[in-house]
Amino acid sequence: MVFKILLYCALFSKAQNLHCDKVEMPFLNEKLTYEVYWGLINVGKADITVTGPIEISSSCAYKIVSTAKSGSFIENFYPVNDYNESWPDVTLSKSYGYYKDIREGGYKKKEKVLYDYSAKIFKCESENKKGEKKFSQGELRENSMDILSSLFLMRLKEIKKGESILIPINTKENWEMKVIHRGEEKIETKAGKFKCDILEPQVGEEGIFAAKKGKKLLVYMSKDKKIPILLKAEIFIGSITAKLVKAEKVN
């Protein structure tokens, strides 16, 4: 246990010696708050917050945290309390790993994955709802992203209508996530009115909303500030939509 604590402290620390404050970080201290709907029914809230820089693997990284929590309407029969954390390089050229704590209904799972580029492997520690832990590792490709950090890489990319890009992903497996530009649309939320590009990241069984295999996840990205205004995911009964209510800077 002591060794694990020392290892964690060595990997994750405030970036004081790398001059990370001199690195341009366009999303630093950004917080995006969403209301989550199932059809027309408000079922909860979600947010994405970017802080840092932190030092990980002798590099400067963002700390991106997303949370989702069910509201009173479904709390009694399908409680949701999800926490996701991602550590992408400040250049968004690659990720250094991720952590997730998923609690949805009777399903619970914790998972921490670290990317070791020098050894070209990922290392995973997972825990099921019974508290049983499992350790695994496998091959890692260069410049891999996790799902949460890939959303921010999408914000930097200029994808034209009808075009697509490929993003290398590692979720304990190496695969290419195709992101397709599906068109444009004007979107209005409590945060305002926005002209948006409609992007479809083909996440398979992964995703912020855990979209099931074969289902769609659409991201409506504002043209001006490249902010995800609306996210819509198909689930086993209908669809879940997250609508931006506030975009702000936090300390």
Q: Cite the DSSP H helix spans in 80-237.
A: 147-156
Please write the tens of the pLDDT for every residue from 214-234. Answer: 568 999 999 999 999 999 998
What pLDDT does residue 234 have? 83
Number of H helices, E strands in the chain: 3, 15
Contact 36, 43 (CB under 8 A): yes
What pLDDT does residue 25 have? 78
Report d(CA 118, CA 251) in Å as an integer: 33
229 vs 18, higher pLDDT: 229
Strand boundaries in 191-251, DSSP class E: 192-201, 217-222, 228-234, 239-249
What pLDDT does residue 10 have? 40
What pLDDT does residue 150 have? 96
pTM of the shown model: 0.89
What pLDDT does residue 15 have? 47
What pLDDT does residue 131 have? 92
The H or E element containing residue 167 is strand 164-170
Structure tokens at 187: 């979107």
**What proportion of the chain, given as a percentage, has pLDDT over 70?**
87
pLDDT at 16 over 60: no
pLDDT at 20 over 90: no
Residue 21's pLDDT band (boundaries 50, 70, 90)?
low
158 vs 15, higher pLDDT: 158
Structure tokens at 204: 């398979």
Nearest to 240 by CA among 230, 248, 250, 227: 230
Q: What is the mean pLDDT of residues 145-155?
A: 96
Residue 203's pLDDT band (boundaries 50, 70, 90)?
confident
Q: What is the mean pLDDT of residues 8-18?
A: 48
What pLDDT does residue 205 have? 66
What pLDDT does residue 19 have? 65
Nearest to 208 by CA among 221, 218, 198: 218
Distances (CA, A) of 21 to 18, 52, 86, 192, 209: 8, 9, 19, 32, 33
Please write the tens of the pLDDT for every residue from 103-115. Answer: 988 899 999 999 9
How many domains does the chain contain in total?
1
Residue 135's pLDDT band (boundaries 50, 70, 90)?
very high
What pLDDT does residue 211 have? 41
Give the list of residues 6+ apart from residue 158 with CB closer than 8 angstroms, or none: none
Please write the tens of the pLDDT for every residue from 62-84. Answer: 999 999 999 998 898 989 999 99
Report d(CA 242, CA 151) in Å as an integer: 14
Report d(CA 61, CA 25) in Å as an integer: 10
Residue 7: give the domain boundaries: 2-249
